[in-house]
Amino acid sequence: MLSIIIIALLVNLLTETSESFTVVVPRDQIVAHVGSTVTLPCWISPPENAEVLELRWYRPDQFRKPVLLYQHGKIIQEESFRNRSSLTLHSDLSGGLKDGDVSLQLEKLRIQDEDSFRCYVSGESAFDSREVVLKVIALGSAPVLFPQPLDDGRVNISCKSSGWYPEPDVSWMSDERTVLRPGGVSRSRGADEMFSVHSWTAVSHSDAQLLSCSMSLKTGESREGRLNIQAIIFLDPSDSSDPWKAPFIILLICAVLGLVGLILYKYRHKLPGKKQTDQICEDGLTEKLIKEGDVNIEELRKHAVQITIDRERLHPGPSVSKDCKIVREALEYKPSGEGFPYELCAFGAQRFSSGRHYWEVDLVRPPNPSKEYWLIGVAKHGRFHSKDRSALTPSSGYWFLCSDGPNGFYTNSDPPVSLSLTPRPEQLGVLLDYDLGQLSFYSVKERKHVLTMSTRFTGSVAPMFNPGVGDLSPLIILDCPEPVESPVETPVESSQPLLSNSSALD
Ligand SMILES: *[C@@H]1O[C@H](CO)[C@@H](O)[C@H](O)[C@H]1NC(C)=O
Ligand SMILES: *[C@@H]1O[C@H](CO)[C@@H](O)[C@H](O)[C@H]1NC(C)=O
Ligand SMILES: *[C@@H]1O[C@H](CO)[C@@H](O)[C@H](O)[C@H]1NC(C)=O
């Protein structure tokens, strides 16, 4: 009895096969990334050989201009999909066209491809069609956070990312728990149809430690950038005695302890600061993201130069070793004031007016205790008698990082920045990129970028060292291993400049 019913059903189906069929598509929309290859599934039920049918994939109101038309065994593609569209299998188990699978494959997806696609199948006496919705998305770059001081003591943190589609949602969070309201969000759309997003929020140091900015799509995909705001302190940029300085000096602290992109997107340059000045921090941050705490010191050392102290331009305070490599406080020196003895500076005999130059300073040399007081940087002028930090500004030709014992670390930038460095750097790497106007400091042992000062150098600058007062540990200029390509003989005794040909180094 049952078998009779089944046979009856089969007969019924067989007789109807070429008469009528249904087009089947998935219920959900299809989401795919820009540039990827996507399949828009579509098949006919019950299965039948579709080779003899006409298949037409078209967009709304474009019946006569189909994306792909299959007719009499030939495929015709619409211009904008030429070479990007084909018939494909909706699954590995599919029997293909012969089995009624008429799925469409689109390659190298563009944002403009986002649309509904109608799968239309027509036979001699029947036709049917269904619509598949294709959403195209683009996951943007990892957001980059960028701090700027505000007059009220807070910090304006901006967060930028580009290459998104559709517009992402922006959210700010402090210490991974408190949601912050953005101060503002602006979006712009480029010629490539992608969105760039810029958001900012103002925080005070007491509000948060770790600030994160994340951008997310409705699909749940997101990217996040983080900034440790405790590591940033700005000082006041009101001094504009030098007309060239004010607009150019921006101090960008990249002592960012945690910056995480959930998905790494761009692998930027190995050295920070090959880009525009106003992107230093961005690049620095991006770099952190890729190899946090893993600066390529060998790469920096390709720019190594031998530095020696210029005895001619030495304050009477510090004493210098015979080889002009070691500076320490002279025991008999009596500082004339309180606080850091800024006047106690020694200068390198080498002066630089172009190119990249790198040197390292040793701050821990057992059995001496680790050096607590030091000032390391570059200076335009070789002599000064100022005891006052306010006179030692970038606009007057000084750029440095200072370790002032219990007062911590600070720069003399406009605005000044103080930062906490734990552990203390044992060897400090200094990279002067004259042309880009950048002075960067690295903790060699931890392979960490400490910070980059951004400025505009004029004239030539010389390395500057100050051993502090009351700190008898020596400050030692190291002989950096020279890059293998350009071996250099043993350290030179003279105080003649040993300038590298920077074009040869690049
Ligand atoms: C499509 O492919 C053909 C050959 O495979 C090639 O000659 C033609 O330039 C391609 N057209 C486009 C628009 O890429
Ligand atoms: C913060 O910086 C952004 C630009 O990055 C600016 O548009 C915004 O007005 C600033 N906010 C304040 C309070 O200054
Ligand atoms: C530096 O290198 C460039 C090109 O390699 C060369 O033209 C120039 O003469 C070199 N300068 C010195 C001082 O060696």
Ligand 3 touching residue 504 (CB < 6 A): yes
- pLDDT confidence bin for 293, thresholds 50/70/90: low
Residue 355 DSSP class: S
- Looking at ligand 3, which atom is closest to the CA of residue 501? 1
Question: Does residue 156 have its Cβ closer than 6 Å to ligand 2?
Answer: yes
Q: How far is CA 356 from CA 268, 351, 376, 440, 499, in A?
A: 19, 12, 17, 11, 10
CA of 82 to the centre of ligand 1 (A): 7
Q: Whole-number mean pLDDT of the chain?
A: 78
Query: Using CA positions, which residue lies closest to atom 14 of ligand 1?
Result: 83
83 Cα nearest atom in ligand 1: 1
* Smallest-distance ligand from the CA of 502: 3
- Cα(198) to ligand 2 centroid in Å equals 10
Whether 25 and 42 have beta carbons less than 8 Å apart is answered as: yes
Please state the rounded mean pLDDT for residues 62-71. Answer: 94
Strands 127-137 and 30-33, how do they pair? parallel
Most confident of 223-232, 258-267, 346-355: 346-355
Residues 6+ apart with CB under 8 A from 304: 358, 359, 360, 480, 481, 482, 483
Residue 285, burial from CB neighbour count under 10 angstroms (0-12, 13-18, 19+): buried
What pLDDT does 142 receive? 77
How far from 49 is each of 22, 42, 46, 58, CA to CA, in Å? 13, 14, 10, 21
Average pLDDT over every residue of 275-285: 30
Mean pLDDT to the nearest integer, 72-96: 90
Q: What is the pLDDT of residues 393-446, one digit of tens each?
A: 888 899 999 999 888 888 887 666 777 777 889 999 999 999 888 888 989 988
Q: Greater confidence, 14 or 339?
A: 339
Is the CB–ligand 3 distance for residue 238 below 6 Å? no
Residues paired with 376 in a beta bridge: 401, 465
Cα(500) to ligand 3 centroid in Å equals 10
| Nearest Cα residue to atom 10 of ligand 3 | 501
Q: Which ligand is nearest to the CA of 84?
A: 1
- Closest Cα to atom 13, ligand 3: which residue? 501
What confidence tier does 329 reach under pLDDT thresholds 50, 70, 90? confident
Q: Rg of the Cα trace of the chain?
A: 33
Confidence check: pLDDT of 250 > 50: no
> At 84, is the pLDDT very low, low, confident or very high (cuts 50, 70, 90)?
very high
Task: Report the pLDDT averaged over residues 360-380.
Answer: 92
**pTM score > 0.85 for this model?**
no
- The pLDDT, as a whole number, for residue 7 is 53
